[in-house]
Amino acid sequence: GQSLEQPSEVTAVEGAIVQINCTYQTSGFYGLSWYQQHDGGAPTFLSYNALDGLEETGRFSSFLSRSDSYGYLLLQELQMKDSASYFCAVRVRSGGYQKVTFGIGTKLQVIP
Amino acid sequence: DGGITQSPKYLFRKEGQNVTLSCEQNLNHDAMYWYRQDPGQGLRLIYYSQIVNDFQKGDIAEGYSVSREKKESFPLTVTSAQKNPTAFYLCASSTLAGVSYEQYFGPGTRLTVT
């Protein structure tokens, strides 16, 4: 099976930078995704890393190290609206199929 | 507008009754997924399908059933065998082309069984 670990809660100040880590144990690994979910809402896709390195999209960046089974999401210039839960998810091969397994999520609270 | 619809938004049922949650997408995506989310928890995969008339069990399939008779539709039935059915249910879809396999989620159905 797959297992993912990420911190359950993080608090950061508006305007600051925060890093949310994710470690995983899995076989048949294809890539690591990040999703954002506001309370009561649906998750929305933020980023995907299949190869080692950093991917930048605006204020958000995501990093992957396949050899370390580790990735992180970096949020810069934090805004109050960034308060949400952030999930890492691994895409893996499962038999002849591909499936996605999510972590438990990190609840980010941005404070003034 | 393309997207995923789930209905209803809130659903209440008595224990012992089967209930079917609707999920429809007009994104022309091949793959569809059902997840369950409990308070403070991540998303747990119930079933997924990558092609019409074919679907696979996820990590917590017991007590659930699905069908995929049309590409656009992937209804989930929560049966009376599901011991703890009260949860937030999310349907998603994705293309199988490209790199990211980005999943698009519907708004969810909050099921309460008493």
What are B63-89's pLDDT values in tens digits?
Answer: 999 999 999 999 999 998 888 999 999
Statement: residue B96 has pLDDT above 90: no
Q: What is the pLDDT of residue B1?
A: 62
CA angle A22–A31–A51, rounded 5-degree value: 100
Statement: residue A13 has pLDDT above 90: yes
Q: Which residue among A45, A87, A95 sits closest to B102, beta carbon to beta carbon? A: A45
- pLDDT averaged over every residue in chain A: 94
Query: Could you tell me the CA-to-CA distances from B14 to B1, B28, B65 in Å, in that order?
Result: 35, 35, 18
- pLDDT averaged over every residue in chain B: 92
Statement: residue B98 has pLDDT above 80: no
Q: What is the pLDDT of residue A97?
A: 83
**Chain-chain contact of A95 with B90 (C-beta, under 8 angstroms):** no
Q: Which residue among B42, B56, B58 sits closest to A105, beta carbon to beta carbon? A: B42
Residue B83, burial from CB neighbour count under 10 angstroms (0-12, 13-18, 19+): exposed
Statement: residue A2 has pLDDT above 80: no
Nearest residue on chain A to B104, alpha-carbon basis: A44
d(CA B109, CA A44) in angstroms, rounded, equals 16
What are B13-58's pLDDT values in tens digits?
Answer: 999 899 999 999 999 999 999 999 998 788 999 999 999 999 999 9
Which residues neighbour B19 within 8 Å (Cβ) at sequence distance 6 or greater? B11, B13, B77, B78, B85, B111, B113
Residue B1, burial from CB neighbour count under 10 angstroms (0-12, 13-18, 19+): exposed
Which residue, among A15, A50, A24, A49, has the nearest Cα to A102 in the 3D structure?
A24
